[in-house]
Structure 1
Amino acid sequence: MGRLDHKIAVVTAGASGMGLASARRFAAEGAAVVIADLDGDAADRAAAEILAEGGEAKPLRTDVASVASLRRLMRFVQDEYGRLNVLFNHAGVPGPPGLDLTEEQFDRTVDINLKSQFFGTSLAVPLLRAAAPSASIIYTSSISGLMAAPSSPLYGMTKGGTQILMRSVARQLGPDGIRANAICPGPTNTPMLRTFVDPDRVGLADDEDFAQQVAVRAERIPLRRAAEPADTAEVALFLASDESRYVTGTWIPVDGGLSA
């Protein structure tokens, strides 16, 4: 018996990094996973990998910044499964540095990091209600949503907004048997990490420079290493499963103690 047997899960940005690790983990525990990603080819490859591993997955190219695209995603889930047990609102982008931003930069960051989570949740509610009381919404926030983010105040703003959205949703949908929680990753070994260790976007010369910068930052982490995508995936699995059936309205840092 898998921990997610007979469950249906959607993972946004599920074709790479923490999203892919979570999608694979969900499928390994018995869930049917919809991999929603802007990169349709990558979503196809990710679903093929999961199928080859004996799991169940379907890809769907999805632009989370578009409400119309999110609506197509939920219509796909309705047509294929008729319910949704797990909505993992994972998609996100690094915020541009500083305060001197264009309106276009501002809108893109807010659209992907926050608007997508609001409308993804709103549009999924009927499907989640059909799966209640075994229904869970997981949001990817960040330790930048818990503490100051001086390199990108905009990024911190969106991730802090995720925290309030999650807590409000938990209060509103709890009576319907729908839980809502957030994961707050710290530095994680994904392609996005290169942006975070180079906040001025000057470009690191080579992989050796990048590794050195990661090592320097790891010295500030009590566990002395950056996270791997699997570290977040294990926490997501707990929040997706019925093992967390009485956990809602809270957040779990996955940061090696950095925010302690």
Structure 2
Amino acid sequence: MSRLKDSIALVTGGASGMGLASAQRFAEEGATVVVADLDLAAAEAAVKEIGRDSRAVQVDVGSVDSLRAMFSYVEQEFGRLNVLFNHAGVPGPPGLELTEEQFDRVVDINLKSQFFGTSLALPLLRKAAPRASIIYTSSISGLMGAPSSPIYGMTKGGTQILMRSVAKQLGPEGIRANAICPGPTNTPMLRTFVDPDRAGMDEGDEYEKQVAARAARIPLRRAAEPGDTAEVALFLASEESRYVTGTWIPVDGGLSA
């Protein structure tokens, strides 16, 4: 109950799925958690669910001005930041025939947000060093490629290189940077990957069959649950990983082995 005692942690995309599960675990281990999400009502509901000393903030991670306002709030409230979990992301449209608008949206939310989120948080992280950890959500699609959505794989691969570069640059200052690479996970986003076009898919048997077919290709024979990623995030946020930086951890049941 004290692995993150006296820590300030911020989770983008923290109102649902893996982000919410991670925010809950951080709080359970003693952190004051800022749940940041585009959906303020969902963030407030998450804070109510988490309890303890948590806060809700609205943010559009694709907007630098919105990110700046979020970190200004953290500075005013806490003056430092021990854990930055750059988690927010969106699935990419299938194929290569994207509009410029579609391309920009995925890049803004999945990659631009990671870069500027890190840059704008840096003064707060420096105040918390050497107890400062940056966690990025990448994907196994950033390790193996994503033929169903090349734009998604591109952004998640970019997150990998950003993380490694940040780890090398900020390591001498006592700031660590690592990435989590989830595989198929039982969240609302999984539906998009199972059925990228949302064509005729409902919550019935067909969806379950497709999920089961994917799970059959995973060595552990199941999709991940949000809590599986949350436990890895907690490890990377805590002093248990104090000598771990510049690496990525697949949470995929062995799919990328």
Once the two structures are superposed, residues 219-241 of structure 1 have per-residue CA deviations (whole angstroms, 9 ceiling, x without a partner) of: 00000000000000000000000
Residue of 46, 59, 62 corresponding to 1:62: 59
Counterpart CA distance in 1 for 2:241 and 2:157 is 23
SS in 2 for 1:146: helix
**1:206 shift after superposition:** 3.2
**Letter of the aligned partner of 2:159 in structure 1?**
T
**1:139 shift after superposition:** 0.1
Q: Which residue of 1 aligns with 2:183?
A: 186
Task: Count how many residue pairs are aligned between Structure 1 and Structure 2.
Answer: 257
SS in 2 for 1:2: coil
Once the two structures are superposed, residues 109-146 of structure 1 have per-residue CA deviations (whole angstroms, 9 ceiling, x without a partner) of: 00000000000000000000000000000000000000
SS in 2 for 1:25: helix
**Letter of the aligned partner of 1:22 in structure 2?**
S
**1:57 shift after superposition:** 0.5
**Letter of the aligned partner of 2:175 in structure 1?**
I
**1:259 shift after superposition:** 0.1
With the length of structure 2 as denominator, give the TM-score of the two structures. Answer: 0.99
Q: Which residue of 2 aligns with 1:96?
A: 93
User: Residue 114 in 1 paired to residue 114 in 2?
Assistant: no
Equivalences for residues 2-17 of structure 1 within 5 A: 2-17=2-17
Equivalences for residues 132-143 of structure 1 within 5 A: 132-143=129-140
Q: Which residue of 1 aligns with 2:168?
A: 171
**1:48 shift after superposition:** 0.9
Counterpart CA distance in 1 for 2:145 and 2:116 is 26
Q: Where do 4+ consecutive residues of structure 1 move more than 3 Å?
A: none
SS in 1 for 2:188: coil
User: Residue 40 in 1 paired to residue 37 in 2?
Assistant: no
Counterpart CA distance in 1 for 2:96 and 2:149 is 8
Q: Which residue of 2 aligns with 1:236?
A: 233
**Letter of the aligned partner of 2:94 in structure 1?**
P
**1:200 shift after superposition:** 3.8
Counterpart CA distance in 2 for 1:95 and 1:78 is 33
Counterpart CA distance in 2 for 1:208 and 1:92 is 28
Residue of 69, 73, 98 corresponding to 1:72: 69
Instruction: Provide structure 2 residue ranges, at least 5 long, that are not aligned to the other structure.
Output: none
SS in 1 for 2:144: coil
Instruction: Provide structure 1 residue ranges, at least 5 long, that are not aligned to the other structure.
Output: none
Q: Which residue of 1 aligns with 2:29?
A: 29
Once the two structures are superposed, residues 164-215 of structure 1 have per-residue CA deviations (whole angstroms, 9 ceiling, x without a partner) of: 0000000001111000000000000000000011134324133322111100
Equivalences for residues 245-256 of structure 1 within 5 A: 245-256=242-253
User: Which is further off, 200-209 or 240-249?
Assistant: 200-209
**Letter of the aligned partner of 2:119 in structure 1?**
S
User: Residue 161 in 1 paired to residue 165 in 2?
Assistant: no
Counterpart CA distance in 2 for 1:123 and 1:173 is 14
Q: Which residue of 1 aligns with 2:79?
A: 82
User: Residue 127 in 1 paired to residue 130 in 2?
Assistant: no
**1:34 shift after superposition:** 0.3
**1:148 shift after superposition:** 1.8
Q: Which residue of 2 aligns with 1:219?
A: 216
**Letter of the aligned partner of 2:182 in structure 1?**
P
Q: Which residue of 1 aligns with 2:256?
A: 259
